[in-house]
Structure 1
Amino acid sequence: MKRIILASLCCLSSASMAAIGIAEDNYQDNERHRLIETKLFYPTKTTASETIFAENIAFYGFKAAKSAPPKGGDFPLYILVHGTSGNWKNLSWLGSELAENGAFVVSANHPSYTTGQATPESVLRMWDQPRDVSFLVDQILSSDYAQYVDKDNITVIGYSLGGYTALALAGAEFDIRGYQKYCNQYNDASCDYFSNAFSDLSPQERLMISGDYRDKRITNVVAIAPGYVPAILPKSLDTLSAKTVIVGGELDKTIPPKLQIIPYINTSLSNLSYKEIKGASHFSFMQVCKPQAIEILAKEGAAFVCQETGNVDRSSIHQRLLEVLSPLKSKI
């Protein structure tokens, strides 16, 4: 996304006391030459002063104590994964909610998919995002943070492109020809984005897309408005290794559930369920927008990020998603 959406972190001092700590770490994957900028949210002592994070003139943020030590332990580990041209802030509203309820949350910017870096060509080469998540799990479980987390309770929540990543980590496998076939039949927003990129894929890259990126350490995945579902190999859903929930937005025009999700999944499987959020469009799952956001973003051609398709309040959509996640939250 553009300048406003990915404006630099805004930090405003406050005299109130924090229940969430936040740490900033960069993890270097030398094997794949990727530097992954990462934020970690977690419960902390209530004596630390708060700062506002992930806020700018268009979006509201959340309060946390920078570099405060974690308090407690045996926290379920949540990895939040952003979508195309997104960043760690997009699901920060959810991360802060989870941390307030006793989870250890990891959210990162994924190189070549994040703000200012994503192109149709780079996003179509999507295999590095699930590998990033497995790498981050490696880093957390081998670091000082490991003493605070329950390594047997790991959940990945991905949005849009990140939804693909969540499914891939559960064991879903993909053949991009299925998505091309879908795009030859329908001309929705996601297909339009990739229309000139399919022909650039090499045979080796198509094999990489079809790879197995399952991570058996992950116990639950939630795929919110996931990308590439028409490319899923149906048999791979029979052997998912994580409890999987796919969430669709009723009014999503980018990834319409009736076209891109429901026809391609078997909801009778024991490890897979589908939930649809009434009134939600594709961007409803991002941060809550400030009153002036649409006017500000319109100047950059990005007003759609804050425009709801239905007559709904974004906070109400978030609440409905939290209700879908409540069985997971009950384990916190």
Structure 2
Amino acid sequence: MKTLTLTASLIASACAATPLLAEDLNTGLQQIAIADPQGQRPLDGFLFYPTKDTDTTPSLGNPVWASLPIVADAATLPQRHPLVLMSHGMFGNARNQAWLAAQLTQQGYMVAAINHPGTTTFNRDPDQRRMLWERPKDISRALTHLLRDPATMELIDPDRIYMAGHSLGGFTAVALAGGRYDAAGLDAFCAASTDDLVCGIFQGWQVAQTNADRAMMEQDLSDNRIKAFAVFDLGGTQTFDAQSLGAIDTPLLVYGAPIANSGIDLDVESRDLITKTPPALTTYLEPADLAHFDFLGQCTAKGLAILREEEPQDAFVCENGTEPRAAHHAQIAQTVSAFFAGH
């Protein structure tokens, strides 16, 4: 298994592969809307892309979350770009990793982030939530849409397609990499681990509780168009069949966050995942001061105080969420870009 000591060489390879310097590029933004022929699961989100337009406007922020300099509907660069697909965490949304999208676009990447129906801030429908097999399919549908849309198809390099997922988005990423859901194995694990966070969530959501749902969850949801994955402090390692994890043939960059403010147990999540995936394809990073919610956006100077007053149960998401989080973001973006550029 590759470790943090390889970061410098990864960064060097990224610099060699980056088509333009970061100061040459800004972040363009357009909305994505993907229809569902059955009308059951339309998707929406954002497409971030590099532009030389300079008319930036503070966007995607509010009193709690810091804005980003964005050029709405900017002109695109007439060349093919690597594409990164992003999957948010439980009840998160397509804005959660906009900070990473912005930093990647400044290095020449396009980034697509979508909202997953049922598990997003804006749609918590219990039936959609139960159908977790749809999450990986959302990403595959978004990729197919972008590769077929005349507005984007000529802008994407099909040999440089990647994915990043945070928390439940990390579960989504592992499924797309080839991890197969193991309902019986999870049942056995949960019977012996009654306080496990993921067990409680999946049972509460009624995931794979019928034979039909189990069959859907256990299907092969991998997408071989995606060449490498970044997995950010995932939840759900114990849902996957160990043999399928060992058979993954796509490079994985796995981050574990040891600051315990989310309920995720690293010993049964990221640390266990990397014992089951191929060592030659797995790079694991666990920065000592990284927290689960450091993968969300940077908080404003007043963000923590606002949450403590208005939403005290959620205030922890902005703990150390200003300059310390910005420093984490810079390191993560650099490492992710380097990892993808190396594959």
TM-score bracket, shorter-length normalisation: 0.7 to 0.9
Conserved 8 A contact 2:165-2:173: yes
Using the TM superposition, give the Cα deviation of residue 202 of structure 1 relative to its aligned residue in structure 2, in angstroms.
Answer: 1.4
Match of 2:108? 102
Conserved 8 A contact 2:55-2:71: yes
Match of 1:127? 133
Q: 1:261 aligns with which of 239, 246, 270?
A: 270
Match of 2:37? 30
Find the aligned partners of 1:211 and 1:319 in 2 and give their Cα distance.
Answer: 37
Three-state SS of the structure 2 residue aligned to 1:270 is: helix
Conserved 8 A contact 2:253-2:339: no
Three-state SS of the structure 1 residue aligned to 2:169 is: helix
Percent sequence identity is: 26
Q: 2:316 aligns with which of 290, 304, 317?
A: 304
Find the aligned partners of 1:250 and 1:35 in 2 and give their Cα distance.
Answer: 36
Structure 2 residue 220 is the aligned partner of structure 1 residue 219:
no
Using the TM superposition, give the Cα deviation of residue 18 of structure 1 relative to its aligned residue in structure 2, in angstroms.
Answer: 7.2
Q: Which moved more, 1:193-202 or 1:23-32?
A: 193-202
Q: Which letter maps to 1:21?
A: G
Aligned in 2, Cα 1:66/1:323: closer, same or farther, shift over 3 Å? closer
Match of 1:244? 252
Conserved 8 A contact 1:254-1:282: no
Match of 1:316? 327
Match of 1:66? 72
Using the TM superposition, give the Cα deviation of residue 223 of structure 1 relative to its aligned residue in structure 2, in angstroms.
Answer: 1.2
Find the aligned partners of 1:32 and 1:173 in 2 and give their Cα distance.
Answer: 27
Find the aligned partners of 1:279 and 1:62 in 2 and give their Cα distance.
Answer: 24
Conserved 8 A contact 1:156-1:220: yes
Match of 2:294? 284
Q: Which letter maps to 1:280?
A: L
Match of 1:12? none
Aligned-pair RMSD on alpha carbons?
A: 2.6
Match of 1:91? 97
Using the TM superposition, give the Cα deviation of residue 177 of structure 1 relative to its aligned residue in structure 2, in angstroms.
Answer: 3.8
Structure 2 residue 220 is the aligned partner of structure 1 residue 209:
no
Superposition TM-score, scaled by structure 1 size: 0.86
Greater RCO between the two (CA within 8 Å, min separation 6)?
2
Q: Which moved more, 1:108-117 or 1:208-217?
A: 108-117
Aligned length: 314
Structure 1 spans left out of the alignment, 5+ residues:
1-16
Find the aligned partners of 2:207 and 2:111 in 1 and give their Cα distance.
Answer: 38
Find the aligned partners of 1:222 and 1:199 in 2 and give their Cα distance.
Answer: 25
Find the aligned partners of 2:235 and 2:71 in 1 and give their Cα distance.
Answer: 34
Q: Which moved more, 1:190-199 or 1:204-213?
A: 190-199
Conserved 8 A contact 2:238-2:269: yes
Match of 1:57? 63
Aligned in 2, Cα 1:49/1:33: closer, same or farther, shift over 3 Å? same
Superposition TM-score, scaled by structure 2 size: 0.83
1:26-59 deviation line (CA, Å, top 9, x unaligned): 110214621111211111133x421222101100
1:289-326 deviation line (CA, Å, top 9, x unaligned): 112222322322311221259x9921222233234324
Find the aligned partners of 2:144 and 2:213 in 1 and give their Cα distance.
Answer: 25
Using the TM superposition, give the Cα deviation of residue 329 of structure 1 relative to its aligned residue in structure 2, in angstroms.
Answer: 5.3
Find the aligned partners of 1:257 and 1:239 in 2 and give their Cα distance.
Answer: 22
Identify the structure with the greater strand proportion: 1
Conserved 8 A contact 1:24-1:38: yes
Aligned in 2, Cα 1:125/1:41: closer, same or farther, shift over 3 Å? same
Q: Which letter maps to 1:296?
A: I
Q: 1:155 aligns with which of 143, 162, 177?
A: 162
Q: Which moved more, 1:82-91 or 1:252-261?
A: 252-261
